Chain A
Amino acid sequence: MRMDDQKREEFRKALREVKNLPTLPGIVIKLTQMAEDPDTSTEQMGRMISKDHILAVKLLKLVNSAFYGFPQRISSLNSAIILLGINVIKSLIISASIFEVMEDQDIELWEHSLGCAVVSSVLAKRLGMSEPEEVSTAGLIHDIGKVAIKMELPREYELITRLVHDKQISRIEAEREVLGLDHAEVGGWLAKSWNLPGKLIEPIACHHDPRLAKDEQLASAIVHFSNIIIRGMGYGHAGDIWVPALSSRAWRMLELTPTDLELVLAEVEEKLWEVKGFSLDIKANNEEAVPL
Chain B
Amino acid sequence: MQQILTAQAAEGMVLAKDVLTPEGRVLCGKGTELTQALIERLLKMEMVNITVEGHPVVVAGEKSLKEELQDIDLRFSRVEKITPLMYLKKIIKEKLVASRG
Contacts and interface: CB of A to CB of B under 8 A. Distances in A.
B79 A243 contact: yes
B76 A232 contact: yes
A289 B85 contact: no
Nearest to B87: A258
Nearest to B89: A232
A143 to B, nearest CB: 17
A276 B17 CA distance: 14
A289 B22 CA distance: 10
Q: How large is the interface on B (under 10, 10 to 19, 20 to 34, 35 or more residues)?
A: 20 to 34
A245 interface: yes
A245 B82 contact: yes
B12 interface: no
B71 interface: yes
Nearest to B44: A291
Interface residues of A, number: 28
A262 B43 CA distance: 36
A291 B87 contact: no
Contact of B82 (A234, A236, A242, A246): A246
B3 A234 contact: no
Interface in B63-94: 71-72, 74-79, 82, 84-85, 87-89, 91-92
Given A232-B92, A234-B71, A292 B48 contact: yes
Contact of A242 (B7, B48, B78): B78
A251 B88 contact: no
Contact of B79 (A245, A258, A269, A292): A245
Contacts of A288: 48
Given A232-B85, A233-B92, A261-B88, A291 B46 contact: yes
B61 interface: no
Contacts of A80: none
Contact of A236 (B46, B75, B79): B75
B82 A231 contact: no
A291 B85 contact: no
Contacts of A234: 71-72, 75
A246 B85 contact: yes
A81 interface: no
Interface in B15-38: 17, 22, 24
B5 interface: yes
A266 B71 CA distance: 20
A269 B95 contact: yes
Given A232-B75, A273-B3, A243 B48 contact: no
B71 A243 contact: no
17 contacts: A73-B24, A228-B88, A232-B76, A236-B75, A241-B71, A243-B76, A243-B79, A246-B79, A246-B84, A261-B84, A261-B88, A265-B88, A289-B22, A289-B46, A291-B46, A292-B5, A292-B7
Closest 4 CB pairs of A and B: A291-B46, A243-B75, A243-B76, A246-B82
